[in-house]
Amino acid sequence: MKGRVKMANSKKPGSNRRPAPPPPKEKVVVKKRGGCLIALIILILLAILAFLLGLHFGWWGKGKGDGDGDGDSNGNGSATEADKSAQTDVYVTVSGAKYNFEDNTIEIEDLTNKIAEIEGNVLVHITDDNATDSAMNELKEAFDKASPKIKYVEETPSEASSEA
């Protein structure tokens, strides 16, 4: 074996051994509980803030309303005091085939035009003083066809005299 130098790390031919891989490093698990706690506190504070704003702006609270949005808390459809004060009452008497408005006999077209000219919420009180059926029906039809539609109520002569 002269002239041959033996290498210390040389592999023998036919040997397929590989060096062993290093052992895996241990994973360090860090639990972050502080972030969840802070988020929970922020959510609670936002809920309290929303509740207080709701009370301040009246989103819910002390009112007597039933929630239908018409402003009538008892649901019978009657007008409130503010609505009645803003309402203009007009009185028309139908006698035979004639229409009496402001102590004058007037044609139906002129009557609807005068009522339509009145500003605000108008309610016409129609009193039947021995009116013909055709005259009453013609008047109601004219009020229904008017633009905007004219609101009216029919009254008997005893109701009209008790209100005046």
Domain residue extents for the chain: 81-163
What is the per-residue pLDDT across 14-72, written as a single tens digit (0 to 9) for each?
566 777 888 888 887 776 666 788 889 999 999 999 998 888 887 765 555 555 555 54
pLDDT above 70: percentage of residues in the chain:
66
What is the per-residue pLDDT across 144-160, written as a single tens digit (0 to 9) for each?
888 778 888 888 766 54
| Long-range Cβ pairs for the range 134-142 (8 Å, 24+) | 134/97, 135/94, 135/96, 135/97, 135/98, 135/99, 136/94, 138/108, 139/92, 139/94, 139/99, 139/108, 139/111, 142/108, 142/109, 142/111, 142/112
Residue 76 — pLDDT band, cuts 50, 70, 90?
very low
The structure's pTM equals 0.45
Residue 3 — pLDDT band, cuts 50, 70, 90?
low
Whole-number pLDDT of residue 134 = 86
What is the rounded distance in angstroms from the CA atom of residue 138 to the CA atom of residue 31? 85
Q: Which residue has better confidence, 45 or 163?
A: 45
